[in-house]
Structure 1
Amino acid sequence: MHSTKSYVSYLTRTTRSLLIIATIITISILILYYFFARLHVCIKFSLSTKPNLINNAKHTQLETILSSSFIYSLDNECKIDLNDSSLHIRKKEFDNIFETGRWNTIGSRSGPGSSLEGAFDWLRHLRTLFEHYSIRSMGDIPCGDTYWQFSLREINTIEELYFGGDISLSVIKQNQKLYKTKHHNKLFQYWDIVNCPIPTFTYKNSTYEINGNRFDLIIVRDALQHMHIRNGLKAVRNVIMSGAKFFALSTYPPNGRSSASNTRSIGKNESLPLIPTECVNKTYCTYGAIKDGDWYANNINCYPFNFPLNKAILVQQSHEKFGMEQDEMHIYKIDEELKKIVEQYDNACS
């Protein structure tokens, strides 16, 4: 009798153990089934959407992964001329501005215009430009400390290359330290936009190499107003002759205030005059004869720059949201007419 009870107890314990094991196995199978089912859906979705993402040139995580197989480099470099005393003066001035925080000590040391508030409207309009014209590469000269640029997704995940150049080696060394190791398609290099032509770039992978690529967009933001006007003319000529498609820059209206009537949005064709009427009363060759690093209210449409205002694809206030300054953001599609204009710069302000 005792033996029978023990046997029944043993069977009960065994049955209970088997039930527990069976339950665990069943739950495990269900979990694995759910996991692989979800994985199958994710893979199927990724494969079905991948062509559309690439064809639409959207700056997505997928494109970042795809482009990470490329190595980017500049085709040429901007060498420091040891015999050019004026270059050394300019370089020393802009190094000093950055290192001492002369323009700004809180946030961006490249000046208040390089804060997120200062760049708010630029970011908004650049997003529209990237979407409307499928911008894939850009040169940003001078780039400053890049406090605002990479807050825009279209720049941070640009499909090909972001190149930041600056005459200040202090700026370049900081940017290289911050971005070089983790951002394969962001290059920072010393660049004097006054004396050095805009570079082309190469991208290569294990299969092929393509060099001589020209940037879709060149940005010269908050820079011309800090250059002697003759240096500004050289910088603008280098941009226009670079083979880039678009040129975005900061410029001040000749009447000292932005006009709501003289504006144009990307993709639209609001009426604009050939030149602002106030240009006839301005003598920018004298007004712009400043020491590099100082300031004057530059204008791209009046003599000696002579850009036709009605050729701009965008004319908007640079600081409409926060009202920091009265300067404007202009974007021009570079064409033969602009190239002919800058060819005359050698004789300007002489």
Structure 2
Amino acid sequence: MNQTQQSNASVDSLILNLQKKIKFWHYAIGFHLNLLTYLGKSRDYVFSNIFSHNRWLESESVSGPGSTLEQTAFIRKMLPLLLKELNVKSVLDAPCGDFYWMKEVELDLDEYWGGDIVPDLITEIKQKYANKKRNFITLDIVADQLPTVDLIFCRDCFVHLPFKDIITAIKNFKTSGSTYLLTTTYPGGVQKNKDIIIGNWRAIDLQLSPFNFSPPIKVINEQTTESGDLPEKSLGLWKLADIPL
């Protein structure tokens, strides 16, 4: 590569980074203005509104920038290996969102349950992707009865919920009689967990108060490069019976 080519490549890289930053700040400002309309609203209202208006401003997946093929590349490789290692044959994926990236994962399962609180989203993906082993249901993980499975997969959900909803959801997971929980956590990424309103976002470390989980059995760092996210973003694995709630 000659000097001119190197210079052009540097300019292209600079423009790309600038475009990413502009997109992030456009999203952040607009989304935080929308949060004002979510005060006092129910979970189903908030997340249905986010879906119907594409509030996360991601053209590739309505589930948001963390659900693109680029941002899920590493976990799409690691998830089948983990399920095989644990001999997992049934999974509840909640929230499953638009099933955009999960449809690309080779899942050797007898039973997959995809659950989401947005009815229109479930109707849409059920028509596209449901089969004998793959079921999709409208589901509120905080309030609804859950199927009993080997593993509950709950990615990028608790980061959008207030403490009381997270704790109630985890208790609901435990009540289901399921074995494992694989969920988003940021080990060492935050000094203190912050409470939020439904639909907002912040990183959480499940080993800190008010959750106080023990160290996970396994941690998969997602290797995220998403603007505004933290490098500690991970999937933590716990046995539900060992979670002290």
Fraction of identical pairs, as percent: 30
8 Å Cα contact 2:207-2:213 kept in structure 1: yes
The corresponding residue for 1:24 is none
Normalising to structure 2: TM-score of the pair?
Answer: 0.77
Q: Distance in 2 between matches of 1:235 and 1:87?
A: 19
The corresponding residue for 1:74 is none
Q: CA deviation at 1:124?
A: 2.3
Please say if 1:177 is aligned against 2:143.
Answer: no
Please say if 1:117 is aligned against 2:80.
Answer: no
Distance 1:113 1:124, change over 3 A: same
Which 10-residue stretch deviates more, 122-131 or 110-119? 122-131
Normalising to structure 1: TM-score of the pair?
Answer: 0.55
Please say if 1:196 is aligned against 2:144.
Answer: yes
Matches within 5 A, 1:133-282: 133-154=86-107, 158-180=108-130, 183-199=131-147, 214-256=148-190, 278=191, 282=192
Q: CA deviation at 1:227?
A: 0.5
- SS of residue in 2 equivalent to 1:153: coil
Please say if 1:101 is aligned against 2:54.
Answer: yes
Distance 1:307 1:124, change over 3 A: same
8 Å Cα contact 1:225-1:295 kept in structure 2: yes
Match of 1:298 among 204, 210, 215: 204
The corresponding residue for 1:330 is 236
Which blocks of at least 5 consecutive residues in structure 1 are unaligned?
1-85, 200-213, 257-277, 343-350
Amino acid at match of 1:333: K
Distance 1:314 1:184, change over 3 A: same
8 Å Cα contact 1:252-1:299 kept in structure 2: yes
Q: Distance in 2 between matches of 1:113 and 1:186?
A: 23
- SS of residue in 1 equivalent to 2:137: strand
Q: Distance in 2 between matches of 1:334 and 1:175?
A: 28
Amino acid at match of 2:140: D
Q: Distance in 2 between matches of 1:106 and 1:198?
A: 31
8 Å Cα contact 2:72-2:101 kept in structure 1: yes
Q: CA deviation at 1:308?
A: 0.7
8 Å Cα contact 1:142-1:221 kept in structure 2: yes
Amino acid at match of 1:159: L
Q: Distance in 2 between matches of 1:319 and 1:97?
A: 26
8 Å Cα contact 2:65-2:226 kept in structure 1: no
Q: CA deviation at 1:314?
A: 1.4
Distance 1:87 1:291, change over 3 A: closer
